[in-house]
Amino acid sequence: MSKLFIFWLILQPFVVWNGSFEGPKVFYFLFGSTALLVFWIAAFFKHKKNINFVKSDYFFLLWLVALLVSSIFGVHFFESIIGGSYRHQGVIFFLALWLIGKTVGLLTKTERTFLVKGIGISVLIESILVISQFLFNHLYFGKSLGTLGEANAVAGFLAVGFYFVYQSFPKLFLIVPLIAIIFESSRSGLISFLFNLAVFGENINRKIFKPLLFLTLTISVLLVLSFSVFKVSSPFENRPLFWKMATEAIAQKPFLGFGAESDEVIYNEAFVKANMPLNNLIVDRAHNLLLDVGLWSGLVGLFIFCGWLYQIFRELKETDKKYALFSFLVYSMFQPLGVSHWILLIIIVNI
């Protein structure tokens, strides 16, 4: 059972179907999560195995309650519960994430090592796939899609996945996802990846680390600037505009919010009011996790969610994991999160 669970997580980033990326991944995720639910019910009634709660669990479940209440009184109850729009991250989705975290906590030390190495292999395979697509010109508007369907999504997966490669392979292997992120020209992915470099400060001579860090950061700033110069701007890819619209929407319903997966409805209305109808385009995220949580569950839910983030940071004992958490948070402040990103976070904080 444990090996099946581990392989299920390892293979998740590669699930695609008929040119569709996120939808099949979520279906795969929820199908497996249903099996997990059955497992926990059987474990409770047959073996009297209780879930071991820690403080962060109470924060997360309390946020789920706030999200559920917000969804009941939100813009579309059904979609908010089961998940709608493009990412399908409804209340059930986040409950399933929590179950995955508790199941990871049951793994033995050997199984955890196997899971970490397996995810590390997934990150390296994704990196090689991106590099191959770039070299063989198998691109979409000049970007490699990998198996996640969008350049920034791929870069974020590789950046947060640094932790798993770092834990399981020689440090030279880390250049593989870095090259893939550079090929994707993802500023948020590159910044998130480089945030992990602080980990090296714990393991190498400070005299070497400081000049190396300075050189790396200098090169990174130049890369980010070059990515920005060649990036084609669009009013429908304008983060400051997204953040402004999200803040205004939160001010309209500051306590409860609009329910899970409400962003698409909110942004459709906001762009119409701004005389910029989206037509066939979809804006389903604020490109900032905290603003998304505020839209979904109001300021009450946002306060609880921030409490959860603070508590999991306190519960993390290893410095490497704390840097991985920071990397995830940096990425989430600028990009939407897919199921693959969420799973990496849940594994990191529960492994």
For 127-188, the DSSP string reads: HHHHHHHHHTT--BTTB--TTTTSHHHHHHHHHHTHHHHHHHS-GGGGHHHHHHHHHHT-HH
Longest dimension (CA), the chain: 61
pLDDT at 194: 80
Domain ranges in the chain are 2-13+20-229+305-350, 246-298
Q: Is the pLDDT of residue 179 over 90?
A: yes
Mean pLDDT of the chain: 88
- Cα distance between residue 183 and residue 185, in whole Å: 5
Q: Is the pLDDT of residue 202 over 70?
A: no
Name the pLDDT band for 342 (thresholds 50, 70, 90): very high
- Cα distance between residue 256 and residue 6, in whole Å: 37
Other C-beta atoms lying within 10 Å of the C-beta of residue 268: 16
Amino acid identity, position 189 = G
pLDDT at 233: 57
pLDDT at 328: 95
End-to-end CA distance of the chain: 17
Give the alpha-carbon dihedral of 289, 290, 292, 293, to 10 degrees: 120
CB 349 within 8 A of CB 316: yes
Q: What is the pLDDT of residues 40-59, one digit of tens each?
A: 888 777 665 667 889 999 99
